[in-house]
Chain A
Amino acid sequence: MSKKKTRVKLNLTRRDFMLIAATAAGSAVTAQFVTTGPLSPFSDLKISQVTGEQTEEHPTGEHHWGMVIDLERCIGCEYCLRACSAVNDVAPDKPWNIVVEDRTETGRKFFFSRPCLHCQHAPCVEVCPVQATYVREDGLVVMDYDRCIGCRYCEVACPYDARKFNWEERDEDNEFIPTWGVPEVERRPRGVVEKCTFCIHRIDAGLRQGLTPGEDRNATPACVNVCPVGARTFGDLKDENSDVSRLIAANPTLRLREELGTNSSVYYIPPEEGILP
């Protein structure tokens, strides 16, 4: 052993040293190039996604679509669930949008509904091995059904149970069609995960026609339009004058499991008796 050690010492000439230094410098430069350069496979990843840091409240794009749900107003009629299931052709027994009964700590009944919360720091997006789900520049968490491999890790990671998997090819009739609406998107194929999209097809088509999502019905999610008591409001969280921003400014609000740092885009106005901590 000691013999070997000596040999190493003797062999480390100036030339070797230069070679090692050059290799180290070269690796450092290459690493820099590969991780942040224009050819880097990582370049389309947001810095916040890689570092896990939360740099800002809003996404980078022009808009940040969000929703305010008033728990005091909700009457638990489930219209949102039905309209959603009809428009997006969701299986009625596996709704994207749930409505349940709940109680405040003082025992008062209220109704709680939950779409996908479109987290800006979404656990489902972080774990997807193929980037089949991602946060868009306007804050929407979307699915690429053509890329999803059906591993269901996003379902496991979502703190809000907002994701559903297509366990079989669906050929059943949807009981909510046409009473509650007609399908505006295709049924998802067997073997992929699906979730609430905030009716992304309406938002995108509406913006192309110069409509304002949240104000013009054709550009607004079905659940918001159908609500008979106006418990749901949709709009641009980045626009200070939007209905959602005004509601958030004027009311106490909470977001679900805020301590997880998911930074979701759905704000709840608690019932009057309060469930705020």
Chain B
Amino acid sequence: MTTLTAIRNRFSISPGFLAWLAFLAICIVIGLISAYEVLTKGLVVTDMSDQVPWGLWITIDLSSIALGAGAFTLSAIVYLFRLKRFERIARLAILVGLIGYTSALLALVMDIGRPDRFWHPWVYWNVHSVLWEITWCITLYLGVLMVEFAPVIAELPFFDRWPIVRRIAHQTHKAAPALALFGLLISLLHQSSLGATYGIIKARPIWFKPSMPIMFIISAVAVGPAVTMGAAFIIEWVTGKKNMPHDVLRAIARFSGLGLLAYTYIKFWDLAAVTYYGSTPGSSTGFSILNQFTPYGFGFWVGEILIGIVIPVLLFLVPRFNRNPLNLVAGSFLAAIGVLFNRWNVTVSGLIVPLNYSPGVEYQLDPGTYAPTLVEWGVALGVLGYALILFTLAIRFLPIFQGRQSTEVH
């Protein structure tokens, strides 16, 4: 208990902390107002249309799931591959995963036309649908994350009164390897299927390719742990306490750097096959329309490749750079931005390219247009505020690093 008291005493409510909370509160209030607007008026308040039926919220949804991938990756590293020196970061990874997945569900509930029927995929099954499989995996995995996180909650002083709760919660720790294995399996499944969501749509030539699920899973495995690593450094700066040995965090950065290189390799061959070696009329028309009507090329080369891959890889892998925590945090931030760019580019661009089904040569739908409205940005801000306030409060009140797990794990 002395450690817990120490944690509480170490934090004091400083003006800076209060200002931060106020900022987050404003984000959440804006989010709530926007959500009210959506729930009362319907999705007409967005800029989505029948031609571009998915937009900013699906991008947020996909990105936050990808950025939460550190949870299953690091859990597998710790509990399955038994790399003990990463153990202290497991709880933080699970926290980031929990925040990522719940943020995704928040965005998703706003995005579906009938939020009151969010439970339908659990009752009415279509096993052929990747979206059905994704819904199941995400829900199951959220359950896994909660069980994995339960011991952290149970360590709160509040549960001093009910030692039984704490004992039960700690029993689950013994199941950690099994949970990590289950989490690994369903994560590999749904992180890939999120890409397959696009990859299987045979009507849309720039989506229809088997590399989609592979690019999604590799980018998630590469960037997820980097986000957790960046979060660990930021916590260290804010709390002033060195929770994690820096060489462990640097190892995670190197892992992410190598992951990004693997991602680059697949992406290179994907690009070469689709646009150069095996270009089809459908895909080349699609890309030329995109480059004509949208800043697709800029988003791809600058957003995805330069910001999302090249700079982070240099910061993570070059020894001169990766010794400086500031570079590692910057790298993880940029890699996360790259994922956002990629998920946006995949989702929105694929829909902007019009379908072509007419038997003649003249009739052609206009390219779709989409620019998120203020309400859409408002909901996005609300989700961000939710994620950051959960993170802040968890770091403030929960024993993320000071757990008993290291004494009980063996």
Task: Give A residues with C-beta under 8 Å from B.
Answer: 41-42, 45, 49-50, 71, 94, 100-105, 110, 112, 114, 123, 126-132, 147-153, 155-161, 163-169, 190-193, 254, 256-257, 260, 268, 270, 275
Residues 105-143 (chain B) with a chain A CB within 8 angstroms:
111-114, 117-118, 120-121, 124-132, 134-135
Find A112's partner among B113, B120, B360 (CB 8 Å cutoff): B360
Given contacts A131-B124, A163-B50, contact A150 B112 (CB under 8 A): yes
Is B362 at the interface (CB under 8 A from chain A)?
Answer: yes
Which residues of A lie under 8 Å from residue B112 when comparing CB positions? 149-151, 191
Find A123's partner among B48, B120, B201, B363 (CB 8 Å cutoff): B201
Contact bitstring B201-229, A, C-beta under 8 A = 1, else 0: 11110000000000000000000000000
**Which 9 pairs across A and B sit closest by C-beta, in order of nearness?**
A150-B113, A191-B113, A102-B360, A159-B203, A168-B44, A129-B132, A152-B53, A129-B131, A103-B362
Find B50's partner among A71, A132, A164, A168 (CB 8 Å cutoff): A164
Is A126 in contact with B128, judged by CB distance below 8 angstroms?
Answer: yes
Is B129 in contact with A128, judged by CB distance below 8 angstroms?
Answer: yes
**Closest-CB distance, B366 to chain A (whole angstroms):** 12
Is B128 in contact with A130, judged by CB distance below 8 angstroms?
Answer: no
Is A100 in contact with B135, judged by CB distance below 8 angstroms?
Answer: no
Is B360 in contact with A153, judged by CB distance below 8 angstroms?
Answer: no
Is A191 in contact with B42, judged by CB distance below 8 angstroms?
Answer: yes
- Besides A71-B359, A155-B53, A167-B44, 6 more A-B contacts (Cβ < 8 Å) are A130-B132, A131-B125, A147-B124, A159-B203, A159-B355, A161-B50
Is A112 in contact with B132, judged by CB distance below 8 angstroms?
Answer: no
| CA–CA, A93 and B357, complex, Å | 20
**Closest-CB distance, A21 to chain B (whole angstroms):** 23
Which single residue of chain B is at the shortest CB-CB distance from A275?
Answer: B359
Find A101's partner among B42, B134, B351, B362 (CB 8 Å cutoff): B362
Which residues of A lie under 8 Å from residue B197 when comparing CB positions? 153
27 intermolecular pairs with C-beta atoms under 8 Å apart: A100-B358, A102-B360, A103-B361, A103-B363, A105-B361, A112-B358, A127-B130, A128-B126, A128-B129, A128-B131, A129-B121, A129-B126, A130-B117, A130-B125, A147-B124, A149-B114, A149-B118, A150-B117, A151-B131, A152-B53, A156-B204, A158-B203, A167-B49, A190-B42, A192-B113, A193-B113, A257-B203
Which residues of A lie under 8 Å from residue B113 when comparing CB positions? 148-152, 165-166, 190-193
- By CB atoms of chain B within 10 A, which of A42, A166, A167 has the most? A167
Given contacts A94-B50, A191-B113, contact A50 B361 (CB under 8 A): no
Which single residue of chain B is at the shortest CB-CB distance from A108?
Answer: B360
Task: Count B interface residues, CB 8 Å.
Answer: 45
Which single residue of chain A is at the shortest CB-CB distance from B120?
Answer: A130
| CA–CA, A114 and B128, complex, Å | 27
Which residues of A lie under 8 Å from residue B358 when comparing CB positions? 100, 102, 112, 256
| CA–CA, A270 and B360, complex, Å | 9
Given contacts A94-B50, A153-B197, A256-B357, contact A130 B363 (CB under 8 A): no
Is A127 in contact with B129, judged by CB distance below 8 angstroms?
Answer: yes
